[in-house]
Structure 1
């Protein structure tokens, strides 16, 4: 019996684990390995207002502008205000941030930021250094179990409290773990799309798990597509950090013409949804798009990860051009939570990209994701430390009854799901294409499986069902939001025609409703 089970192993999960009470019984359980996460792959860095000419207010303003005024403003304020202290704590703990020529923290520039405020490690290997630091800090008494596919949240039939999880080992054997609190920190939904920067293990499991358990899900239409993924032979092969453009790289077409000139005041450093849309339009007309890196001196030293990525894929840095295309990068929506990560289910929490905290609005500001993971991981730990009773044994008498499985239907393969999502629910959306996708997804509607146990199912079949379920949530929300805002681009509604204000699409097993976020901050309010 644990005090806390953390599902996932990225920055939010590890930050939480490291700040929980030393006497608490903690389990970290992850789908792949503790180093297989989007956090580990993060290149850009952590946004924090620590420069002499910077303030948290400027950081706040940039966040609101990039996210199209669709935020929980109070949560944005406390996030950016805590940024400098979080960086200072990590620096004092020995994290090797890069420094400038006078020994101060080196600050990078990224899209939609008005100041240099991105701290980084190892050039473009911030995620790796950060995660190695957090992994090394995990106390020996914390149980860490890798290669476990969590397929069900256990809800007590009387109290309706989340009391544990069910998982499968690589051989498909079932395991049950009980806990006073369960935290979902499993990342986003990149695996739903054929072009993505995400780790291969990330496929929307957290959202599907929470939805099946009855939790509220919100803002699933807001999916950020990163403008610059390495593009080779019709496929994307990894992220090319926005920090490259921050160092002076320009987007050009195959004729060498600057792509973003005259398209936005910030040109190549415009918000991600604007740059991604321009690249998408170019590629849709048959034109290749490149990052011109010829003006960046010592590129290999500044960006060793990207240099290695290009080398492995046969792209010569000496040519001065990197072929790029947009791909699914980050989910701004997800599981609806309050200010400490509490979901609408007692005992169930969500943090990191899995959670919809309201800090990213309709389009996340670059490098705010690692900051979010650090802040909410620590904040939830403080909350749980106040709640956990070390002498409490919790519920141990309730075991879910295994039901006889129904005949398992034939699902489409993962590649087909990814291709259809990319084609019909990707960067540019239309009503007709979303309806076609909704109709296709409806062919795999099996209401009986919402209540059915997956004890006898294979991991592959459960994963496909989770992907289909999460895809439906995305399509439902994208159809209902009849406006273009941030990362949600409806071709039939212009970006200027933002009519909805703070109206949010909330989905649960009970149905779909429109809900306006309350602007005032309370500890018990569920933020969309």
Structure 2
């Protein structure tokens, strides 16, 4: 049986929603793990940002998005996404997402940091991602036009006559398989697994960023990485998350002595933008004072009822959040950068679309506003589906791909190299950055890429190249803005108040120059 003409890489919110929006057109989904197990969407706790409450509006939502984005949010994108938010929430309600309602049947949104209104549509306090995904998975499994391929890891794009014509992916047995397609959608998530401490699943390793760039795709805003300030610091990988909604409910940040530290750093204290809070938490930990999220007064005995997932995680580590402060640390949480797309989700490569965290649409700017990630995923998944539906009849059918030979089936990255990438990124391309550290990152990552080429490891090559794109972009932006903070350039530069674009060739050229100068 032949595969469908439309291929979606990724089994998270953006991928599944796009597939449902394309129905009844035949679609194949490639997922690196069983559906629902390898997607960051499942772990999203806050919810979806949408102006659904009385007194709120898409215009206010867009204004908050732009304020958090530190001067480089695309105005038209922010407003158009905010205006589509309610319709996408209604789509999810029809699919079966059990968003919180009051006794009159009205949605009951909560508030999160940097929002000027209560507009986070959520599920039982901290369960939005899992509940939304459960509804989508059930809908996808009962949709006959959708074929699901699980445990298939995409490693490269198939290119034919200057356009993307599908994907090469490795199955659970290690065999490399070709999946030709007339339209290919990347919805494979972010880059969290490139960092030593992250809230993302291990499948979020930036591979699509690398192989899309290797094919010639433009990468935008790669330097902007958001670190969630309140990952629960109990030694787990990935790190569990203490949702932003806790601070929205009044929880405070304190050090080991019980002293609050955020009021001295920002007028909004604990509800300041995430990058500010992350740096505050990082500084307390670096100074040896520790950092904790204290909800004992704001939530107290109601903790388990209001935030059951966080409560269960804390209790499993011997912490009672109703009575004790929760130990926290900043962890890589979300990548504002990614594969550049236009307003329809088209990348710079013909035949390739992108949606969700893997894409960079201009919505988030330098710092994502809380709960805009799930919103962007469904809005752009819908746009991609509509664009493909309109253009598919005119797209050329892919030719039969060349057989994959053993020489083209490289090994997976060894554990030591994966750990080394994560160490480099956390140490030199993390919450705080400077030229010396970034140069070391470029040199070391370039050496790991050379190792990958010598050993024939597509996995290590993708990790190293994705990390190089982030490090090179961070080195080139000599200012501090949003999620990118340079200790050697601690102020924002008005002349740099624009989005960045980089190609893999440019990143490699920079890394080679740095490596050569270090060796001289």
Aligned counterpart in structure 2 of residue 132 of structure 1, from 121, 131, 134: 134
- Between the two proteins, the alignment pairs up a number of residues equal to 502
**Greater per-residue helix proportion:** 2
Residues 488-527 of structure 1: per-residue CA shift (max 9 Å, x gap): 00001123444312152322336689xxxxxxxxxxxxxx
Cα 1:448–1:492 change in 2 (3 A) is closer
Deviations 1:182-228 (A, max 9, x none): 11100000001011010121110110120122211121100000000
Note if contact 2:446-2:464 (Cα within 8 Å) is conserved in structure 1: no
Q: 1:500 aligns with which of 493, 496, 501?
A: 496
C-alpha distance in 2, partners of 1:270/1:177?
Answer: 45
Q: Secondary structure at the match of 1:239?
A: coil
Q: Is the 8 A contact 1:483 1:499 kept in 2?
A: no
Say which is worse superposed, 401-410 or 254-263, in terms of deviation: 401-410
Task: Identify the residue that residue 388 of structure 1 maps to in structure 2.
Answer: 392
1:477 aligned to 2:477? no
Q: Is the 8 A contact 1:484 1:498 kept in 2?
A: no
Give 2:291's aligned residue: 289
Between the aligned partners of 2:409 and 2:459, the Cα distance in structure 1 is 17
Residues 189 and 356, structure 2, Cα contact 8 Å, conserved in 1:
yes
Is the Cα–Cα contact under 8 Å of residues 505 and 512 in structure 1 kept in the other structure? Answer: no
- The residue aligned with 1:517 is none
1:312 aligns with 2:308: no
Shift of 1:463: 2.0
Q: Is the contact made by 2:365 and 2:499 (CA closer than 8 Å) also made in structure 1?
A: no
Does residue 1:440 correspond to 2:444, yes or no?
Answer: yes
Q: TM-score, normalised by structure 1?
A: 0.90
> 1:29 matched to which residue of 2?
30
Compute the displacement of 1:317 (Å).
2.3
CA distance in 1, matches of 2:235, 2:39: 25
Shift of 1:407: 9.7
Alpha-carbon shift at residue 409 of structure 1 (Å):
12
C-alpha RMSD of the superposition: 2.4
Secondary structure of 1:151 counterpart: strand
Contact 1:31-1:148 within 8 A present in 2 as well: yes
Instruction: Give the aligned partner of residue 104 of structure 1.
Output: 106
Q: 1:170 is matched with which residue? A: 172
Of the three residues 141, 144, 150, the one matched with 1:146 is: 150
CA distance in 2, matches of 1:94, 1:426: 38
Partner residue of 1:48? 50
TM-score scaled by length of structure 2: 0.91
2:251 to 249, 252, 267: 249
**Separation of aligned partners in 1, 2:82 and 2:288:** 41
1:197 to 185, 196, 199: 199
CA distance in 2, matches of 1:224, 1:87: 25
Higher strand share: 1
Cα 1:78/1:407, change in 2 over 3 Å: closer
Show the counterpart of 2:516.
none
Question: Deviations for 1:93-152, whole angstroms, at most 9, x for unmatched residues?
Answer: 432111235542111110100111001013211001101111111212311010011111
Distance 2:381 2:480 in 1: 32
1:152–1:167: 8 Å Cα contact kept in structure 2? yes
Unaligned runs of 5+ in 1: 514-528
Equivalence map 1:370-449=2 (5 Å): 370-389=374-393, 394-399=397-402, 402=405, 404=407, 412-446=416-450, 449=453
Q: Supply the distance in 2 between the matched residues of 1:180 and 1:4 (Cα, whole angstroms).
A: 6
Could you tell me which residue of structure 1 aligns to residue 515 of structure 2? none
1:221 aligns to what SS in structure 2?
coil
Query: Which stretch shifts more, 166-175 or 44-53?
Result: 166-175
Contact (CA 8 Å) 2:338, 2:360: kept in 1 or not? yes
Identify the residue that residue 210 of structure 2 maps to in structure 1. Answer: 208
Q: Distance in 2 between matches of 1:475 and 1:257?
A: 35
Q: CA deviation at 1:447?
A: 10
Q: What is the CA deviation profile of residues 403-462 of structure 1, one whole-angstrom value per residue up to 9, with x for unaligned ones?
A: 84699899752112111210111000011111112122232343994xx9x9xx5xxx32
Deviation at 1:393, TM superposition (A): 8.1
Question: Helix, strand or coil: the match of 1:105?
Answer: coil
CA distance in structure 1 between the partners assigned to 2:449 and 2:189 by the alignment: 25
Q: Deviations over 1:141-189 (max 9, x none)?
A: 3110100111111001xx2111111111111112111110111100000
Distance (Å, rounded) in 1 between the aligned partners of 2:228 and 2:255:
18
Are the aligned partners of 1:236 and 1:325 in contact in 2 as well (CA < 8 Å)? no
Specify which of 215, 228, 231 is matched with residue 229 of structure 1. 231
**Maintained 8 Å contact 1:16/1:377:** yes
Aligned pairs for 1:335-354 within 5 A: 335-354=339-358
CA distance in 2, matches of 1:378, 1:467: 29
